[in-house]
Structure 1
Amino acid sequence: MTSTTSNPKSYFDIHTSGIGYIQRVREVQVKGGRKAMPFLACTVAALFGPANNPVRRYFDVRVSGAEAKKLLQPYIGTDDPQQRPLVRFRLGDLWIDPFRRLSGDPAASMKARLLKAEVLERSALDEIEHHELHTRGIGYLNNPRMIPNGGDPFLSCSIAALAGPVGDPEYRYIEATVADDGAQHLVQRCIQAVEAKKKVLLAFTLNDMKADAYVRTKGEHAGEVSGSLKSKLVRVSLIKVDGEKVYPLEPEAPAPEDVHASDKTVLAEDDNGGPQPTALILAPVEEPARVASF
């Protein structure tokens, strides 16, 4: 069995996966001289919620995966709703682009790279009861807090998700409602560490990513349109406090290699279709004995 430790990750990414329709496939021309090459783009209308009445979350994406490019080329210029392909997709490098509509209202779109797309028969929808839209990555926990919400308080937090080269990453800020009991317990255990100004790093899984636009009201950028990503935190698979792993705890005896691996490396693709190392995605583990905090 090959160990992943010999190939340390060099690139953080935020992966979003789900099922949705491809629309507005187009070739985008780029200004910048003879070396500026056009690229393939499309919109992914991701499905989320009950199968009988799902909502759609729209991602404006650049098609980066080689197989995805080959798959979507024939759909350039064709946008008949009856001909839009239904696909299982994987996106990378998620970010938000705020803008102002012609009406003057604030708006924001979600941008990403389309890494993978697998065409599905529409009959496949008959086997689905609930559509999920999962986003996985690694980032820093900020501002965990209880929101009063009348008589029904809930736990909320902000995640500064890491994206880009490990040596010089960017941050994607995501406001998250903690929607799972296990994740809620783990985030609550981190509150003291965050309040003590310690760096709390999470490997997270979110569900139902969406964009929220607003107009700034304070500071030198008052009046400008801005936006934020919002989602629901449904799983925490790793926690490090100031670089020290505190969850999951190491088992007393290592499991045999032929039972399961402790982690695996997921490869994204660059714009040329080649492999690109990305953050480690940890395999499921059982929660250790609960304590008051880290």
Structure 2
Amino acid sequence: MTNTTSNAKSYFDLHTEGYARLQRVREVPVRGGRRAQPFLACTVAALVGSAKDPVTRYFDVKVSGADAKKLVEGYIGVDDPRQRPLVKFRLGDLWADAFIRTSGDRKGDPAASLKGRLLKAELIDRAELAQIKQYELITRGIGYLNRPREVTPKDGDPFLSCSIGALAGPVDEPDYRYINTIVATADAQHLVRRCVQAIEAERKVLIAFRLNDMKADAYLRTKGERAGEPAASLESKLIHIGLIKIDGQQVFPAAAPAPVSEDAAATEDADTADGTVEAPTAESVQDEPVPAPEAEEPALAASF
């Protein structure tokens, strides 16, 4: 949570962090006359998975942090892949930008890119890099839990999925980032299942969450006035739930522990969210793509 000088909570943080190479560093011109100032931008090529064979997720970002600007601007015009810096980074306000491909074999198909603001970037020491066995791309925040369901694919193992309406932006007028997730850990699965009854009763279930990996899935809208337009959803894996509130009442953990990790910031955001924002309605997420495989009702653990 971002604070003002009076320590009043003013901003819901949605932060993504990991390791990446910086590329396509450039100044982007802005229309608007003489007073319009160009801004610094770059592509963050984030690494995910085994250090021996990682997957790359690309984020097109505006460089916002003061220290990040000092580091990044030194690489304007550097095109040699061997000179691209490897950094530990933090992004804010992640979102997916949808568009229609205009060329190539997939011309006319929907596509999407991940965007955000680069808040922090630090060069990585080679010794630190050598110790990394698994790259993680972690996103932390708070949001409303929706649509938990057991999915049984025709080919593959069954899994538990859910949607999170993550809060981002000013407290008095936040935006939602809708993230479709696979619940990837046993602890998170247990907690999501305990929330099913409350969600079915249309109660507001607010969670502090941690996700791993992030990608954008593009599709064409099929309903409403914007049918036929490109859109995109964020997709990730839910690996940890640090706090649950139902209709403003904390139900997990039973006694709030002292802040001991970066997840504490998301817990603090959850305190601020009580009574200040409305949970997303079913109508607000109905246009999001839903996996096609057959679904069954989640098996209930002891419900909250």
TM value normalised by structure 1? 0.84
CA distance in 1, matches of 2:8, 2:88: 29
Does 1:109 pair with 2:106? Answer: no
- Aligned: 1:292 with 2:302: yes
In the comparison of the two structures, how many residue pairs are matched?
A: 265
Specify every segment of 5 or more residues in structure 2 that has no aligned partner in the other structure, as ranges.
1-5, 271-299
Contact 1:263 1:281 in 2 (8 A): no
Matches of residues 190-269 of structure 1 in structure 2 within 5 Å?
Answer: 190-250=195-255, 261=259
**Match of residue 26 from structure 1:** 26
Task: Name the structure 1 match of 2:38.
Answer: 38
The equivalent residue for 1:154 is 159
Q: Which residue number corresponds to residue 75 of structure 2?
A: 75
Q: Which residue of 1 aligns with 2:99?
A: 99
Instruction: Name the residue aligned to 2:147.
Output: 143
How big is each residue's C-alpha offset from its partner over 1:142-194, in whole Å with a ceiling of 9 and x where there is no partner? 11111111362111000000001111111000000000100000000000101
Matched-pair contact (CA < 8 Å) for 1:12–1:279: no
Give distance in 1, aligned partners of 2:262 and 2:109. 44
Instruction: Report the equivalent of 2:283.
Output: none
For the residues of structure 1 that align with 2:202 and 2:30, how far apart are their CA atoms?
A: 44
- Using the alignment, how far apart are the partners of 2:262 and 2:46 within structure 1? 26
Partners of 1:279 and 1:27 lie apart in 2 by 36
Match of 1:214, as an amino acid?
Answer: Y
Shift of 1:78: 1.2
The answer as to whether partners of 2:242 and 2:263 remain within 8 angstroms in 1 is no
Q: Deviations over 1:264-288 (max 9, x none)?
A: 7989xxxxxxxxxx87379xxxxxx
Distance in 1 (CA, whole Å) between partners of 2:25 and 2:172 is: 34
Indicate the SS of the match to 1:217: coil
Alignment of 1:7-18 (within 5 A): 7-18=7-18
Q: 1:250 to 1:262 in 2, by over 3 A?
A: farther
Counterpart among 231, 247, 268 of residue 280 in structure 1: 268
> How far did residue 129 of structure 1 move?
1.0
What is the aligned partner in structure 2 of residue 127 from structure 1?
Answer: 131
Structure-1 separation of matches of 2:267 and 2:45: 26
Query: Kindly, what percent of the aligned residue pairs are identical?
Result: 63
Alpha-carbon distance in 2 for matches of 1:263, 1:134? 14
Residue of structure 2 aligned with 1:183, choices 171, 185, 188: 188
Structure 1 position 218, deviation (Å):
3.1
